[in-house]
Each structure stands twice: as C-alpha cells, then as structure tokens.
C-alpha cells in the first residue's frame, strides 16, 4: 500500500479518492501497473463510460487471460515455487509447484476441450477446494470458457437452478469427500441434477472415495484421471479480451431466483489481486489460507489473487474443529500459513474450546489476519487478536460482495485498527454513507453507496440486465446502493451495522442487528445471536432476539430476563426486546453467515425465499418449534 501511495503521489490514504476522482484514467492505469497485469495486447483506454456508468468497461482494447496471470507466467519464471498446498478432512496432503500446476491446468483444459468445451461455454464446478478444483477452474480460463463455481455441498435444486440458467455443458464433480469423518457422496446428487438439465452433455468425475459402486452413464460420465491419461494435445491459451466473461457466480437474494453475477478476465481477477496487495500485503513469499469454499466468492478470490501474485495458496477442505478443537491451528502450524482469513462466526465457534487449543501450536508463521462475511462482535474480535494474533498482528477487516469481486471497505497494514472497525474505503472504491435523502452523513447509520465504477464490478446479471439495474442502480442516478447499513465515527473509522434489508425500526428508531447481537454475545452464556424485527401494532416493529447458548449453560426464564436486560442497558429502554428465544442453532450459509431473513420469515410463518445457500436446514426446525410454542 505504501508503494502504491508513492506511485500515485498520495500523501496518505485519505488523498487516494481525491486523486482517483480527478483523473480516473490515470489512476486505473497505475493500478494495472501496480498489480503487474500481463497483456497479450495492451489496452487503449483504462475506463470507458460511454454505455452508462452501470455498464462501464475497463481496459478497452486490452487482451489478457487469467490462466496466464495465475499460473503460466510463474511456471516460466519460478517453476519450483510451491503454488498450492492442500489438506483434506482425513489429513491427506499434497504439494503442487507452479510448473506442476501449469501442466495440470493445460491437461485439464485439454480434457474439457475433448468434451466439446469451447470459448464462452459454461462449465459448472461442484468440488471441494483441491488441486484438481484449481486446475479445472484455471483450465476453463485457459480455454476462454466460463466457469460456474458451486458450493461442494449443494443439493439438486441449487445445482439445477444455476446450471439451467447458464446452459452449462459440463459439470465437474468429485465422486465424494469426507466431512467430519463421514463420507459425503456427490455423484448421486449430480445424476439427479443432470436429469433436469437438457443442455448438460457431460459429468466429469474426479475420484476421491474410490467407491466401486459409483454408477457411470456411458457417453455422459467420464473419470477425470482416465481422460487425463489420454491427453495428447493441449489447446493454446485463448486470447481473451479484458471484458471476455470468465465466470458466472451466483448469489442468493432475499427473494427470487439466484442472481448470476457476470465477471470478466480484466475484472474479478484484477480486483482480487489489488485487494490482496493493498489490504493484506500479500507477496510471493506468503502462504495464504482463507477458510472458504469455491461456491463463496472468497474461493475464486483466493485462487485468482494469491496465484496472480505468485504466492502459495493453502487449501484446507476440512472443518476447523475436527477431529479435535485445534485442527485449524494445527493446519496453520504445519503448513506455515502467513496470511489467515476466517469469518467471525468461525472464531465464535472456536472460542467455545478456550485458549488451550490455540496455545498448543506454534503460530509464529502468521503475520496478517483477515476476516470477512459478517460484522464482528467485540469479544470475539479481541479473542482472535489476543490468542491468535498474540496482540501483535493486524486484523484486516474486509467487506464487499460477490458483485464487487472483493472489498468496498477494509483495513490495511498502515493505519490504526480498532475492534470491529474498518479503516475506510479501499483504493479506487468511491464509497460513502448516505441518508434517505442522498446526503453524505457521519456519526449516524446510513446506506453504503459507491459513486464511481471500478474494474471488479459485475457486468450485470446473466440474462437479466433489468434486475441488475433495479437491484443496485435504481435508487439514485449512477450511484450503486450496496444494501449495507454503515456508520463512520468521529475518528473516521467505518462500521457495518448490518444489511439494510435486515434493519429493525422500533418506534422510528433505526437499529442494526449487529448492535443487538454484540450486546448479547458479550454475555458469558451466549455463543451466537441473531436479532430481527417483527410487526408491532404500536411501535411498527418490535425486537426479537435469538441466541445459541454455550455448552453446559441451561436455558431458563431468569437467563432470558438477564439477556433482555443486557439489550436494554446497552441500547435503551425504548429498544427492549419483545422476546429472547433460545435455539440450538441459527440458519447459516456454508461460509458461516447467519441468514437473518430466514430467521424472520420462519418465525413469522412466511416464505423464507431462496434457501439454496442454506447449510443447516435443521435450524429452520428449531425456529419453527419456537413459533409453535409461542
């Protein structure tokens, strides 16, 4: 970040937006040089808004390919450098150099090509994070095909809705994998999905379980290793334009079908690389582990960014507390991870096991900690800082979205940090906080907006441009409204107060759920919390809080009154909750984000909308029992 400030002539971080707004063309040219993009043809113009701000094009006339950026150039320059370190649930490991990854990427591209995949064809990848997953991901880019990342644990409906939308020609899967010691079989799910996908021609199966009972349909199904063994000719890297589509990644909304966000070779990979450099200070000597899945944008983000920088990507397929509560810390120690990213929910879950599992391991390889996915609460942030960071390492808080291709606001290694806070907008992100009248505000909660385009912005929703415009650009002309409630304090630090569609308004007082949840999680009995607003005849909305108690804590009316009192003491009597409900678990996505809209809908007995991203359906049963009892 410091080097970038010198490059653009900025005195400090606050000066960056002034420089960008004064000359966007020059600013983005500097970014392209800073992230060392490798062009087959240099761009003519960095920024082109002639089709309107929502449809801004970057690097016009330029040609580059993600596969070259992420692997092929490093195979030439640093062939023996480790590109990928992988470990699965069982403890099996594999190390892959850049030379080896380049070979496997080329062979993966050849396998896909043999199945009829050509430029612009869509390929679904429903696999855990593994070397084969990375090779197929980059193999699609190599061919100029469009990769469609899917959560490895998706059910039939979620796979069908996404691959039908984009007419995917091939689906790449594993026969199965292990999770918490149990076998998860994927092939039967893929078979059922394929029956509902008329455009799907092939299922490519990577053997993991080695189950002889796997049924393979002739002509349609193929073992990856068998096709790899027969590869004789490797297609050349496709000469893609900067605005050629390389990925459609789907994100779920409150209502309607999942949105297919469209990303291009000169967009998502550039944004991921820029953010890794500027926020996390990732270098070619680093080993980055982000606890994620390919179906969450942080999976493609980690692949694109870490490999484009020539760093080592550490992939961990397992769960952080299996077979023991120290599993994640053991992985960090053995693989010498230097940049670690996890969500606040994961930290809260690991806190239950105490400090001993952390202290049992040598974490001296770590130099940067990262977090994203949801707002922090103070106590988990401090626990992470003290026990994992040893009160010395920066915690880079990072927030943006799938449609952003990375972060809007984040921390960095130059400016002071405070629990739960963000330093401010990332370089190039013209972020602001607006009230309902479109006025910039400080010291109060408002909408997070973006006043200018950036390279990573989605190029619309797949086959649904009007929905894209309605979702982000309809409230104020040429202003992106992200859907987060944000507040900037007197010191210029930024805080996310929750999603704007999660906002609770009690007697005219606007309340972010994160404020309520922080008050509850600070109680020693509470492991997790979710706050929602429900209809109230007098106040308009009333507050209802759901909590998951720590192991060994008994539910009871006295405890519930104590928790309600904590909210009242923290937030005021006017915001006293109607009820505090105790449940065994909260509904979450696979990346551990709590789905408050699902909590609210189920509690009120209404349609919860799209549930394809939901990881634990048993949480719905728990909330339904609360509703029935009430």
Domain assignment of residue 46, yes or no: yes
Domain assignment of residue 98, yes or no: no
Domain assignment of residue 340, yes or no: no
Dist. CA 314–CA 306, nearest whole Å: 10
Pick from 8, 36, 16: which is nearest to 283 by CA?
36
Task: Return the pLDDT at 158.
Answer: 80
pLDDT digits (tens, 9 = 90+) for 125-137: 999 999 999 999 9
Enter the tokens of residue 297: 């944008």
Ordered DSSP codes for 333-358: HHTT-SEEE--HHHHHHHHTT-SHHH
Cα-based distances in Å from 307 to 104, 127, 229, 411, 486: 15, 19, 26, 22, 32
Domain assignment of residue 213, yes or no: no
**CA-based radius of gyration for the chain:** 24
H/E segment holding residue 534 = strand 526-536
Task: Return the pLDDT at 591.
Answer: 67
CB hemisphere CA count around 609 (13 angstroms): 15
Task: Return the pLDDT at 510.
Answer: 59
Pick from 133, 163, 160, 138: which is nearest to 148 by CA?
163
Q: Using the 8-state DSSP alphabet, how is residue 14 labeled?
A: G
CB 549 within 8 A of CB 582: yes
Q: How many domains does the chain have?
A: 2
Domain assignment of residue 605, yes or no: yes
CATH number at residue 624: 3.30.300.30
**112 Cβ neighbours under 8 A, 6+ residues apart:** 123, 136, 139, 140, 143, 145, 170, 204
Q: Which residue has the tokens 């990346």?
A: 591
- Residue 575 is part of which domain span? 523-629
Helix locations, 124-246, DSSP H: 131-143, 156-166, 187-194, 224-229
pLDDT digits (tens, 9 = 90+) for 199-252: 999 999 999 998 778 999 999 999 999 999 999 889 999 999 999 999 999 986
**221 Cβ neighbours under 8 A, 6+ residues apart:** 202, 203, 205
Q: Which residue has the tokens 């010291």?
A: 443
**20 Cβ neighbours under 8 A, 6+ residues apart:** 27, 427, 428, 430, 452
Dist. CA 588–CA 362, nearest whole Å: 31
Q: Which residues of the chain fall short of a pLDDT of 50?
A: 254-255
Q: Which residue has the tokens 């915001």?
A: 575
Angle of the 513-521 helix axis to the 557-571 helix axis, nearest 10: 130
Domain assignment of residue 536, yes or no: yes
153 Cα distance to chain centroid: 16
Domain assignment of residue 494, yes or no: no
Task: Write down which residue in 23, 46, 61 finishes a domain.
Answer: 61
Dist. CA 276–CA 412, nearest whole Å: 10
Domain assignment of residue 569, yes or no: yes
Query: The whole model's pTM is what?
Result: 0.85
Dist. CA 127–CA 463, nearest whole Å: 25
Cα-based distances in Å from 102 to 66, 82, 283: 12, 12, 20
Pick from 424, 393, 496, 420: which is nearest to 12 by CA?
424
């Amino acid at each position: 970040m410091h080097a970038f400030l010198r490059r653009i002539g900025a005195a400090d971080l606050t000066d960056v937006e002034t420089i960008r707004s004064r000359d966007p063309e020059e600013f983005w040219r500097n970014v392209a040089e800073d992230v060392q993009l490798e062009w087959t043809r240099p761009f003519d113009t960095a920024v082109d808004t002639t089709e309107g701000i929502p449809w801004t094009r970057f690097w016009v006339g330029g040609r580059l390919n993600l596969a070259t950026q992420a692997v092929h150039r490093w195979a030439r320059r640093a062939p023996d450098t480790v590109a990928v370190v992988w470990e699965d649930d069982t403890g099996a490991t594999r190390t892959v150099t850049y030379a080896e990854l380049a070979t496997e990427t080329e062979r993966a591209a050849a396998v896909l090509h043999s199945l009829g995949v050509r430029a612009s064809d869509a390929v679904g990848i429903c696999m855990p994070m593994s070397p084969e997953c990375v090779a197929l991901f980059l193999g699609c880019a190599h061919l100029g095909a469009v990769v469609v990342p899917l959560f490895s644990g998706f059910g039939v409906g979620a796979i069908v809705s996404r691959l039908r939308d984009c007419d995917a020609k091939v689906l790449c899967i594993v026969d199965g994998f292990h999770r918490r010691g149990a076998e998860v079989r994927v092939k039967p799910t893929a078979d059922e999905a394929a029956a509902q996908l008329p455009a799907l021609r092939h299922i490519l199966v990577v053997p993991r379980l080695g189950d002889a009972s796997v049924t393979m349909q002739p002509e349609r199904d193929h073992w990856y290793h068998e096709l790899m063994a027969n590869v004789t000719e490797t297609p050349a890297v496709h000469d893609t334009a900067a605005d050629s589509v390389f990925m459609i990644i789907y994100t779920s909304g409150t209502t309607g079908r999942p949105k297919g966000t469209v990303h291009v070779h000169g967009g998502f990979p550039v944004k991921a690389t820029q953010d890794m450099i500027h926020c996390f200070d990732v270098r070619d000597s680093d080993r980055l582990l982000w606890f994620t899945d390919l179906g969450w944008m942080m999976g493609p983000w980690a692949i694109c960014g870490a490999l484009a920088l020539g760093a080592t990507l550490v992939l961990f397929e397992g769960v952080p507390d299996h077979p023991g509560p120290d599993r994640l810390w053991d992985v960090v120690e053995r693989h010498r991870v230097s940049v670690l990213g996890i969500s606040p929910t994961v930290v809260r879950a690991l806190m239950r096991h105490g400090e001993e599992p952390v202290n049992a391991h040598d974490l001296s390889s770590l130099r940067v900690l990262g977090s994203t996915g949801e707002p922090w609460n103070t106590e988990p942030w401090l626990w992470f800082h003290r026990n994992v960071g040893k009160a010395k390492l920066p915690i880079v808080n990072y927030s943006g979205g799938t449609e952003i291709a990375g972060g809007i606001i984040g921390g960095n290694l130059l400016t002071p940090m405070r629990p739960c806070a963000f330093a401010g907008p990332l370089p190039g992100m013209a972020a602001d906080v607006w009230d309902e009248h479109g006025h910039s505000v400080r010291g109060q909660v408002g909408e997070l907006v973006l006043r200018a385009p950036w390279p990573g912005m989605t190029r619309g929703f797949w086959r649904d441009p009007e929905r894209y415009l309605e979702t982000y650009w309809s409230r104020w002309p040429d202003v992106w409204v992200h859907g987060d409630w944000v507040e900037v304090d007197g010191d210029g630090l930024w805080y996310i107060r929750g999603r704007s569609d999660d906002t609770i308004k009690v007697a005219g007082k606007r309340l972010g759920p994160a404020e309520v949840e922080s008050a509850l999680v600070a109680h020693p009995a509470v492991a997790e919390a979710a706050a929602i607003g429900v209809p109230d005849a007098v106040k308009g909305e009333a507050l209802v809080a759901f909590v998951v108690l720590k192991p060994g804590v008994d539910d009871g009316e006295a405890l519930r009154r104590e928790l309600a009192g904590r909210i009242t003491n923290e937030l005021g009597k006017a915001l006293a909750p109607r009820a505090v409900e105790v449940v065994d678990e909260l509904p979450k996505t696979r990346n551990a984000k709590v789905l408050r809209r699902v909590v609210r809908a189920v509690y009120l007995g209404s349609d919860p909308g799209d549930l394809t991203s939901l990881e634990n359906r048993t949480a719905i049963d728990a909330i339904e029992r609360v509703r029935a009892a009430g």
